[in-house]
Amino acid sequence: MSGNHVLVVEGNTDRREMLSTLIEFVNCQPVIVEDPEIWFDQIDDLNNVVMAIIGDCGNHHITRQLLRELVNHEARVPVFTLELPDLDSLEFPGTIGSLRFPIKYPQLSNALQQATIYRGQAQSRDNAEASLFRSLVGNSRSIKMVQRMIDQVADSEANVLILGESGTGKEVVARNLHHFSCRRDKPFVPVNCGAIPGELLESELFGHEKGAFTGAITARKGRFELAEGGTLFLDEIGDMPLPMQVKLLRVLQERTFERVGSNKTQTANVRVIAATHRNLEDHIADGRFREDLFYRLNVFPIEMPALRERPEDIPLLVNELIKRIEHENRGTVKLTQAAMTSLCRYEWPGNVRELANVVERLVILYPYGRVDYDDLPPRYQLEGEELPDQVTAMITAEPIPDLHRNLPNKVPAQIVEVVVSNEVATQEGLPEEGLDLKEHLANLEYMLIKQALDEAEGVVAHAAQRLKMRRTTLVEKMRKYGIQRDND
């Protein structure tokens, strides 16, 4: 088994088939289990299951027993329960969340993202660590690269330099590096080098002895001592004064330091992670940052992407921020597609921090309400060209295709197949040797798309309207079947 398997335990045949189809659509492999009491016998290796969806197992007692076995299993599979319209929802401690049936594509994609983040590469992580990693929400290539780099360097002793604009989540990366390292049980100590006056920064980092300077009425430990055995996070390292840069370089090279006012040398068993929104290479050219310190810190650089560079992650981030506010019992809010589209068009100079502030403001203004385009603050009301397909796909909630809908009469009779009560019928009945239902439905879908495009003279948007689907969904299906517009 590969790592893209999704375990589904559901007693209802129709729901199993619909879940299986949707899981395959997102390029995962469904592992379908009908009998919840023998689920473990049907799994080769639970460590390779990316997530589990647990639906109707017959009764709540059996469902709870299955959830208990899955949640407590050493493989730590992320578990989601299925909210069914005809059954009371079941909440169970240790599950990641619930999915409302019928599940829609963005809902499943978000769940897979959460499951992947939860599991990461370390199966022994606890819930607190998973919560930290979920702070790096996103499906974009850039954020996945950041997650991959965190996994690669977290358990090493290499110094890490985190680059990126203000509000992109540099401290979140630093905390994840600490929590996924062998120093996880020791302190994580952050220091904002830009917020501490230069004359006090030495004492703040290295500590001081009693009487070392005016006002030093007692001895005090510095941040290096407080972080002993753990991680020291030097935020805004680009704002550190040059004299302090020299002293920091010595600590990084020799792993020793002295308190202010003391001649006693102490060892520093500390991993240093630094971050800045400055361009340090420009600072080096201007003489404001030491080149040797830059190369000492820049062993493993991680660059956080600006939010405007990954708009497809905004719907997931908004959803995560709303969930956190709900968890803190501070209310909730729901955004329409028009409002979410407008947020995805905004440039976000304050990045994720600004987005979090906007979501919190909306919860205050419209508690438990619905926010439409006109309800957004004026600066976030933006109209423009159509967003990229991958962004639109995350905004829109495309339902599972309804196989019971009426089909147009203009489809050639020889390929018409009508789905009635889960039975496929043709004008002449089923052939004796049977038929491949999936292949026949694919042929039907292909012909309907071709017919709609022909009638719309190759205009995809008009064809999508005739087929009552999103334009982005139609584009994906055209790619799937290799259909090109006449003008391509």
Residues 357-410 have pLDDT tens digits of: 999 999 999 888 899 999 999 999 988 777 887 788 777 743 333 333 333 333
What per-residue confidence (pLDDT) applies to 91? 65
What per-residue confidence (pLDDT) applies to 465? 85
Return the residue matching tokens 């962004």: 391
Mean pLDDT of 232-246: 93
Q: Range of 432's domain?
A: 404-481
Boundary of a domain, candidates 260, 287, 304 = 304
**Cβ(51)–Cβ(27) below 8 Å:** no
Q: Residue 138 falls within a domain, yes or no? A: no
Mean pLDDT of 243-259: 92
Confidence of residue 125 (pLDDT cuts 50, 70, 90): very low
Percent of the chain's residues with pLDDT above 70:
81
CATH number at residue 432: 1.10.10.60
Does 472 or 123 have the greater pLDDT score? 472
Close Cβ partners of 73 (under 8 Å, ≥ 6 residues apart): 46
Confidence of residue 452 (pLDDT cuts 50, 70, 90): confident
Q: Interhelix angle for 351-365 vs 314-327, to 10°?
A: 50
Residues 221 and 300 in one domain: yes
Q: Residue 145 falls within a domain, yes or no? A: no
Which of 29-33, 155-159, 358-362, 377-381 is the least confident region? 29-33
3-state secondary structure of 335: strand
What per-residue confidence (pLDDT) applies to 416? 37
Q: Residue 488 falls within a domain, yes or no? A: no
Q: How many domains does the chain have?
A: 4
Confidence of residue 9 (pLDDT cuts 50, 70, 90): confident
Residues 321 and 343 in one domain: yes
Does 430 or 406 have the greater pLDDT score? 430
Does 392 or 430 have the greater pLDDT score? 392
Q: Residue 98 falls within a domain, yes or no? A: yes
Q: Residue 129 falls within a domain, yes or no? A: no
Q: Residue 133 falls within a domain, yes or no? A: no
Mean pLDDT of 190-202: 86
Q: Residue 146 falls within a domain, yes or no? A: no
Q: Rounded to whole angstroms, how far apart are CA atoms 103 and 356?
A: 27
Q: Rounded to whole angstroms, how far apart are CA atoms 411 and 18?
A: 25
Give start and end residues of each alpha helix (H) in 125-218. Answer: 127-133, 141-153, 170-179, 198-206
